[in-house]
Structure 1
Amino acid sequence: MQSNLAKLNNPLEEESYSGNTEPPFTLQQLKAAIPSDCFMPSIGRSLSYFLLDVSIIGILYAVASYLDSWWFCPVFWLMQGTMFWALFVVGHDCGHGSFSRKKWLNDLIGHIAHTPILVPYHAWRISHRTHHQNTGNIDTDESWYPVTETKYKEMGWAEKFVRFDALLLAYPLYLFKRSPGKQGSHFSPDSPLFKPSEKWDVITSTTLWTLMVGLLGLLTYQWGWMWLVKYYLGPYVVFITWLDFVTFLHHSDPDIPWYRGKDWYFLKGALSTIDHDYGFINEIHHNIGTHVAHHLFLNIPHYNLKTATEALKPILGDYYRKSSVSVFQAFLRSYPSCHFVPDTGAVVYYKSKKELMKQN
């Protein structure tokens, strides 16, 4: 019993390194340890995962339509929403260029995968690139970065509710408003998210997103609101819950350091994420839980991440972070603990609102 409690209080597989220490290896040394074929995407294999996901989604829709029962809806929503999430991960590989070496194919499959689940592919691809380039940097990271203590105190109740209480449903709002302290929208080419050279990419994705919304509106007009709830909104809510849940877990933990200024650089930031085991879901959502290797080398296809991780472990040592508890235990630990970081300090850690109340 005591051992289980200790794991829950510090669920990382090995003793965590201090954020103040410097890794005794370089990014080049880590790359050299990974078999070279891990970096080579296979178009056939990548397409097979995409086609499998689309096929399962089609089969689930056929079954739901055939049964046409509200009793089946909760099961359908859970399964279909999970497959929406799996399809998102395929589009995620496209955005990183790890689906194939052909940009036109990545963009084509990325739009086909993301547009039906209301993700503006190019806009997301660009903002997600910013996240990867700045992971662990309090000032420049793009998603799930901590707010400072001062910012937390300034936030209104509605903003706090969305960020800290309804966080598993926050993704659609992020597309329109970004995160606290950031300006711009994923749908406007004039957003500070984008370079002028990316204008037409953003317009393309926004146009396709708008057409998808229009199609859903047309189908709702034809078949009614209950059709929209039963066949789209239910799975969509499960999908965004998965997206927020997974992203939160990989970047929010009381033991993960966050950096400011010169104390941050890419390698340290990339190491400030955690691998999680999702059980039988691992294969369904394409092993996105192998997140450390993904952040170190984002051009590795999802189907090579496990091999790359095993090759990296001997070199990473204690710098490799993996949760030793279930994802639900990890969430219940981080959810009430990760609210803000101190206003000052080169290397800081999350604090909870309870700690702020004790100070006052």
Structure 2
Amino acid sequence: MTTLTTPRSIPTNEGTDIRLKDILKTLPKECFQQNQRKAWLGLLTNVLLVGLGYAGIAIAPWYLLPLFWIFTGTALTGFFVIAHDCGHRSFAKRRWVNDLVGHIFMLPLIYPFHSWRLLHNHHHLHTNKLDIDNAWQPFRPEVFANSDKFTQWGYRLVRGRFWWVGSIAHWAIMHFDWSQFSGKNRNQVKLSVSVVAIFAAIAFPALIATTGIWGFVKFWLMPWLVYHFWMSTFTLVHHTVSDVPFHPASNWNAATAQLSGTLHCNYPRWIEFLCHDINVHVPHHISTAIPSYNLRLAYSSLKENWAEYLHKESQFSWSLMQQITDECYLYDQKNCYRSFQDYHGISR
């Protein structure tokens, strides 16, 4: 039997009159101010660090390659965070600059910018809304029991020790399908898919022609897998622990969902630096207009004014991931998350 953490007392959504705008009023105005020097300096630093990582991969002996893969893949996650700011229009004041930088920095990751932007905004609008949020949505027991065997197997996989492939599945299944969009949004998604398809059609054959299949694996695939490890880990940890509440639309409240359903996890400082403090995630859910370099300032304010609604901070570790991947499988309104062992009659 899996040992479960006793849920702490988190304010429920029912009966609350807290609104997001009430929280926003307490944040310092500096949190929302764009600083172009910080933005572009962060971008240039990130480019240099990624270049350093690739240079290391090129010259390192085989036994040091894993270290450079980890470094380069983590730095490429910083590329994604820069594009993430662009998607929320918090990188630059001009929309075309955000779109251009966002597309360029997602190219090495083969990520269509506009499809990610639109789907990610859906997550922000419906954070921890049961059956609607599109980021690490938990299965209810009855949904899991009525799913086909392949879906059950896949869910067990990405909710267990293979959580780090979850973002790969999300990327492949959701971000290249423009049929789920309409009108202007569909055209934008088609553009983004075309951009990454053209890039891959040129870059991958050129890489293989000059460095061979091993070069493709060494220079692109392995750093890309490290990037997805962090993508899966960040997004899972941001909203998942055994007592984090999800609510149906009927009693969902945006303010408490963002405050109590978004978690702060501390990572080693070098990871936070390379990934532009994306782990400081609660203020980002209060307002996507806060640039990444202002997240720590905003979080300090939230701790000062809204501490009773914030979930306890966690420390990234294997024990944390073990706890999440052991406990957080199926969800019900009464008990929050439970492991498979806590339910009888679930298909195995």
1:243-280 C-alpha deviation (Å, 9 max, x unpaired)? 10111011111110110022113212212111011131
Q: Distance in 2 between matches of 1:329 and 1:144?
A: 20
Contact 1:16-1:321 within 8 A present in 2 as well? no
Partner of 1:180: none
Aligned-pair CA distance for 1:160:
2.8
Judging changes above 3 Å, is the alpha-carbon distance between structure 1 residues 210 and 359 closer, same or farther for their aligned structure 2 residues? Answer: closer
Judging changes above 3 Å, is the alpha-carbon distance between structure 1 residues 25 and 58 closer, same or farther for their aligned structure 2 residues? Answer: same
Q: Distance in 1 between matches of 2:13 and 2:30?
A: 34
Q: Distance in 2 between matches of 1:359 and 1:114?
A: 40
Contact 1:276-1:322 within 8 A present in 2 as well? no
Length-normalised TM-score, structure 2: 0.90
1:276-291 aligned at under 5 Å gives the runs 276-280=265-269, 281-291=271-281
1:103 counterpart (95, 108, 133): 95
Q: Secondary structure at the match of 2:137?
A: coil
1:142-198 C-alpha deviation (Å, 9 max, x unpaired)? 111111112212242532344323221122221232xxxxxxx3213212xx23221
Q: Aligned partner of 1:277: which letter?
A: N
1:319-330 aligned at under 5 Å gives the runs 319-330=309-320
| 2:196 is the counterpart of 1:206 | no
| 2:293 is the counterpart of 1:293 | no
Q: Secondary structure at the match of 1:259?
A: coil
Partner of 2:57: 64
| 2:168 is the counterpart of 1:172 | yes
Q: Secondary structure at the match of 1:341?
A: strand
Q: Aligned partner of 1:64: which letter?
A: I
Q: Distance in 1 between matches of 2:16 and 2:93?
A: 31
Contact 1:148-1:340 within 8 A present in 2 as well? yes
2:131 counterpart (130, 135, 139): 139
| 2:155 is the counterpart of 1:160 | yes
Q: Secondary structure at the match of 2:90?
A: coil
| 2:263 is the counterpart of 1:274 | yes
| 2:302 is the counterpart of 1:312 | yes
1:336 counterpart (322, 326, 340): 326
Moved more, 89-98 or 326-335: 326-335
Judging changes above 3 Å, is the alpha-carbon distance between structure 1 residues 314 and 206 closer, same or farther for their aligned structure 2 residues? Answer: same
Count residues with an aligned counterpart.
338
Q: Aligned partner of 1:176: which letter?
A: A
Consecutive unaligned residues of structure 2, counting only runs of 5 or more, are: none
Q: Distance in 2 between matches of 1:128 and 1:141?
A: 10
1:32 counterpart (18, 25, 31): 25
Q: Aligned partner of 1:28: which letter?
A: K
Aligned-pair CA distance for 1:96:
0.8
Show structure 1 runs of 4+ deviating over 4 A: 20-24
RMSD: 2.2
Q: Secondary structure at the match of 1:335?
A: helix
Aligned-pair CA distance for 1:234:
1.0
Length-normalised TM-score, structure 1: 0.87
Partner of 1:48: 41
Contact 1:121-1:205 within 8 A present in 2 as well? yes
Aligned-pair CA distance for 1:41:
1.3
Q: Distance in 1 between matches of 2:115 and 2:169?
A: 14
Contact 1:137-1:264 within 8 A present in 2 as well? yes
Aligned-pair CA distance for 1:328:
3.0
1:241-256 aligned at under 5 Å gives the runs 241-256=229-244
Aligned-pair CA distance for 1:348:
5.8
Aligned-pair CA distance for 1:22:
4.7
Moved more, 198-207 or 120-129: 198-207
Aligned-pair CA distance for 1:93:
0.7
Contact 2:265-2:313 within 8 A present in 1 as well? yes
